[in-house]
Amino acid sequence: MLSMNKSVKTSNDNVSGSRSRRSSTRRGYISRSDESKLRAARKSTSMRITIRARVVLLWNKGESTSAIARTLGISRQTAGKWIERFKESGTEGLLDQQRSGRPQVYREDCIQTILDVARTPPRLLGLPFQTWSVRKLEHYLNVDRGHTIKRSRIWQVLNHEKVKRRVQKEKRRPKI
């Protein structure tokens, strides 16, 4: 254990002699309702929410950002970020925020076209087969309807909308 003497700088002192951000009045900063929410969030199924709640609870006990980061295996910047978000927005600040990300590539009318075509028997569209395969559906949408839709996206839309499996998988023919 390190001995503390007057020449050693304490965690509450900085170069100018004033107190740093860490203060002894931090304990009890969290209201009882927020603390109960955070304790419940520690048992959350989302590991991200669990870690964020633990960060704030440890901070409330008076732990430094560095100690919290070491304890939880995260960076000091991450621990500081969640403490600041909690200070600004309370427990709501610990939830994931909307991310910008890439805009949706397929417009709503295109998705509706996929659903309409998949629910229509191919014979009614003048095609020589009775059921859709994903390849046939992709070909029809891309060539006859003028869309550019990937096969994987067609399956995503059909599965998301829980379209009945009238669409059948094509069996791959063995290469000879």
The Cα 112–Cα 168 span in angstroms is 20
Which residues, in sequence order, are CB contacts of 60 under 8 Å at separation 6+?
Answer: 26, 27, 28, 29, 30, 35
- DSSP assignment of 81-145: HHHHHHHHHGGGGGSPPP---PPPSS-HHHHHHHHHHHHS-GGGGT-S-SS-BHHHHHHIIIIIS
Crossing angle of helices 76-89 and 47-60, in 10° steps, is 80
The number of angstroms, rounded, from the C-alpha of 124 to the middle of its chain's C-alpha atoms is: 42
Q: Are residues 31 and 68 in the same domain?
A: yes
Structure tokens belonging to residue 15: 């170069």
Q: Are residues 33 and 87 in the same domain?
A: yes
Q: Are residues 90 and 128 in the same domain?
A: no
Q: How close are the terminal C-alpha atoms of the chain, in Å?
A: 75
Q: Are residues 90 and 114 in the same domain?
A: no
* Per-residue pLDDT reduced to its tens digit, 104-160: 667 788 888 889 999 899 999 999 988 888 899 999 999 988 888 888 888 888 888
* Residue 135 · residue 103 · CB < 8 Å: no
Would you say residue 62 has pLDDT above 80?
A: yes
Of 44 and 67, the structure prediction assigns the larger pLDDT to 67
* Per-residue pLDDT reduced to its tens digit, 86-119: 999 888 888 888 777 776 667 788 888 889 999 8
Amino acid at 147: H
Structural domain includes residue 101: no
Q: Are residues 40 and 84 in the same domain?
A: yes
Structural domain includes residue 54: yes
Task: Kindly report the pTM of this predicted structure.
Answer: 0.45
Mean pLDDT of 162-174: 61
* Residue 141 · residue 117 · CB < 8 Å: yes
Q: Are residues 76 and 40 in the same domain?
A: yes
Bridge-partner residues for 19, per DSSP?
13
Q: What are the backbone dihedrals phi and psi of residue 13, each rounded to the nearest 5 degrees, phi first?
A: -105, 145
Structural domain includes residue 17: no
Which domain range does residue 56 map to? 24-94
